[in-house]
Amino acid sequence: MSPSFFLPHPLLRPAVSHIMTVDVHLPGPAYGRSAPFPPTPQHSLNFYPGDATRSRSGQQAYTELPACVIIGPQTTKVDLAMGAHHRFVTVGFQPGGLFRLLRLPLPELLDYPLDAALVLGRDIQQVTEQLRETQHPLALKNIVETYLLRKLALQTVSPLERSLRLMLQPGPADSIEHMAALSCLSLRQFERRSREILGYSPKFFARVVRFSQAYRLKVRQPRLSWTSISHHCGYYDQMHLIRDFKQFAGATPKLITREILAAPLTLQDDLRL
């Protein structure tokens, strides 16, 4: 079953990109196969109202994710194993949107899936309980959206957030100096504020954006050569692409292709950034 995407309420759009729901029954034994999930530049709030999802990093043992988990800055690939009935609701944030919700410096969440109940308390537990009693995609979206309207500081998009959104666009990225100027900040202020709301430097953010574009293009068009992908996504040459794949995915592009083809779900093909 294809994911259902919803634009958020207009008052949420300065902070929230979209709300997505998935409801699918997977063939084969529960948790029998894993799906790779390498870094993306998008932070999210993920709800699992169906069978639990299990996660691991590297060769560690799988652990069960909480019913609602906060995904902040991610720099390494994780593997996800899902139950027979995979139900999933995610809030995809604009750059800076998760910071608005949590008011925590995002470097504290680097590569750490945080149990949302520890930060957001009983309210988020009530949302999770409501989602378990609901199945229609629109109703799932409305439950989560109602919560966000109560919790998010509804402000206009700042120049900093606007410039970071520009970095998500396909093609060669503008210089960091130009992005700082668009943000009405000095270079040092731009780097400090970006690190606070993203979890890493703007230069590193640009690398994650480019890598994610390349990975998702391969997921959508598996027959496309890595040479074509490297040129399309603005890499200087294929060696730069290989370097990023080794850092962010822990493997060469060739090995990642095998993982994509063997996965029960391609979890990032419909990712909207």
Which residue segment(s) compose the domain that 11 sits in? 4-151
In the structure, what pLDDT confidence band is assigned to residue 257 with cuts at 50, 70 and 90? confident
The reported pLDDT for the residue numbered 273 is 67
In the structure, what pLDDT confidence band is assigned to residue 28 with cuts at 50, 70 and 90? confident
The reported pLDDT for the residue numbered 172 is 66
In the structure, what pLDDT confidence band is assigned to residue 236 with cuts at 50, 70 and 90? confident
Residue 12 within a domain: yes
- pLDDT over 60 (residue 192): yes
Q: How many domains does the chain have?
A: 1
Residue 43 within a domain: yes
Residue 215 within a domain: no
Residue 97 within a domain: yes
* Whether the Cβ atoms of residue 40 and residue 211 lie closer than 8 Å to each other: no
Longest dimension (CA), the chain: 55
The reported pLDDT for the residue numbered 94 is 95
How does DSSP classify residue 171? S
Distance in angstroms (rounded) separating the CA atoms of residues 63 and 66 = 9
The reported pLDDT for the residue numbered 269 is 64
Residue 177 within a domain: no
* Whether the Cβ atoms of residue 92 and residue 34 lie closer than 8 Å to each other: no
Q: What count of other Cβ atoms lies within 10 Å of the Cβ of residue 246? A: 14
The reported pLDDT for the residue numbered 96 is 94
Residue 183 within a domain: no
Residue 56 within a domain: yes
The reported pLDDT for the residue numbered 248 is 94
The reported pLDDT for the residue numbered 84 is 87
- CA angle centred on 194, ends 202 and 235, rounded to 5°: 15
Distance in angstroms (rounded) separating the CA atoms of residues 153 and 142 = 18
Across the range 5-16, mean pLDDT stands at 93
Residue 15 within a domain: yes
Among 158, 181, 168, 179, smallest CA distance to 208 is for 168
In the structure, what pLDDT confidence band is assigned to residue 270 with cuts at 50, 70 and 90? low
Burial of 232: CB neighbours in 10 Å, binned 0-12, 13-18, 19+: middle
How would you list the strands of the sheet with 34-37, edge to edge?
34-37, 78-82, 53-57, 63-64
The residues pairing with 111 across neighbouring beta strands, listed in sequence order, are none
This prediction has a pTM of 0.91
Across the range 123-150, mean pLDDT stands at 94
CATH code of 56's domain = 2.60.120
The reported pLDDT for the residue numbered 259 is 83
| φ, ψ of residue 197 in degrees (nearest 5) | -95, -15
Across the range 31-45, mean pLDDT stands at 90
| φ, ψ of residue 198 in degrees (nearest 5) | -105, -35
**193: three-class secondary structure by DSSP:** helix
pLDDT tens-digit series, residues 172-189: 667 899 999 999 999 999
